A = this chain, B = another copy of it.
Amino acid sequence: MPTQIDFSSYIQRYENELLKNVIPFWEEHGIDKEYGGYHDSLDRDGSLWDSDKWMWMQWRKVYMWATLYQSPYKKDRYLDYAKQGFEFLLSHGKSKDGNYYFGLNRRGEAIIAPHSIYSEAFAVMGAAALYKATNEEKYKIEANSAMAKYISRMDNPKGLWDKSMPARPSRLSHGVYMILANLGTVVKDCLASSDYDDKVAEAVDMVVKHFWSSKHKVLFENLNPDLSVDLESGDGRHINPGHGLESSWFILQYAERNKRPDLIPQVGTIIKGLLDFGWDKKYGGIYYFMDVLNKPKLELEWDMKLWWVHNEALVATIYAYRLTKDPEFLDWFQKLDAWSFEHFRDPQYGEWYGYLNRRGEPTHLLKGSKWKCFFHLPRALMVCIDQMKKLEI
């Protein structure tokens, strides 16, 4: 295992990827100059294959353009891209009771009801990043309002649209806590707000102490309300390694910024556990969904390899390496880097493929959809570059 490497060639390759292969694709094809907001469903070459607009994707793009505007790769027009998205979403995106719809048509008329709490989460991120970029009050107001909505919906994320009947076992969902751990960092960084510190600290604790099982060495996605694991049901045994790895680096970031060094070795253990469990020993890459006891998965796509899972794994491993200097993380980072760049890149049209079969062959050539956008990949490239630059010092 390597102990230290020269990161300069990595940094160069990651910057090249971000600046020449990813940003230009979304700049050229991803802005709806006619109606405002962004084009979501882009084919391999950037052509539009469906014109509906999905709230998670739209707000994530506001966040990404506003974040790039404040990065070493700043261009003035990136702020314009973010602002026009914000205006489109603020004037079209909200129901009367102030929740964000899940989907709009191209013109901005609501097509899908506001059933997802994560629409609010990504609105917090987009609006907060714009506030940091501009210091304009309206962005702060929107970020705080979306944050309050998110917190208020945490206990019943699906609300009206929950099909559960009383006898269905309640679940605590890892995703809700994981996202709050990230929102905590964003809100503190962009709004300098301490209002949510206690809630965020609780969320971090939930992930590290309860969703992580030191017995099973995996991070569970669903817990019983008493914090125990349900090994008798498929959803109780459900593991999403990419989700766990994303959660891990959110917590490393939290630990560093909030002077909680005690969290770092715990998260290191989580990352190693998830990679050991989730890595496909035969074909390489990380599985999408797994069962902790290797019982059947209901999801047909369980063995596929998804771009975002690998993006988040890259960040988790390089972040953990910087904080711990444990060579096992560097080894994983190099392995993930080699596999990801070999299998996901599209050298011809830019951006990465999103979906590979177990063997690592693309099953979909699309670059954007209801579920894939300008977010995980550019964020991962930026955070990895930042971590590697810090390692170079």
Interface residues of A (CB under 8 A from B): 41, 43, 49-52, 101-105, 109-113, 115, 161, 163-168, 232-234, 295-298, 300-304, 355, 357-358, 363-366, 369-371
Contacts and interface: CB of A to CB of B under 8 A. Distances in A.
A364 B297 contact: yes
Contact of A52 (B110, B233, B296, B365): B233
Given A234-B49, A295-B43, A303 B110 contact: no
B110 A165 contact: yes
Contact of A165 (B49, B111, B166, B297): B111
Contact of A296 (B168, B300, B301, B366): B366
Contacts of A161: 161, 163
A355 B302 CA distance: 11
Contacts of A115: 163
A229 to B, nearest CB: 15
A313 B355 CA distance: 28
Contacts of A103: 168
Contacts of A295: 43, 49
Given A163-B115, A168-B112, A234-B49, A370 B298 contact: yes
A366 to B, nearest CB: 4
B163 A41 contact: no
Contact of A109 (B105, B167, B300, B369): B167
Contacts of A298: 369-371
B50 A234 contact: yes
Contacts of A110: 165-167
A111 B163 CA distance: 8
A321 to B, nearest CB: 31
A291 B338 CA distance: 33
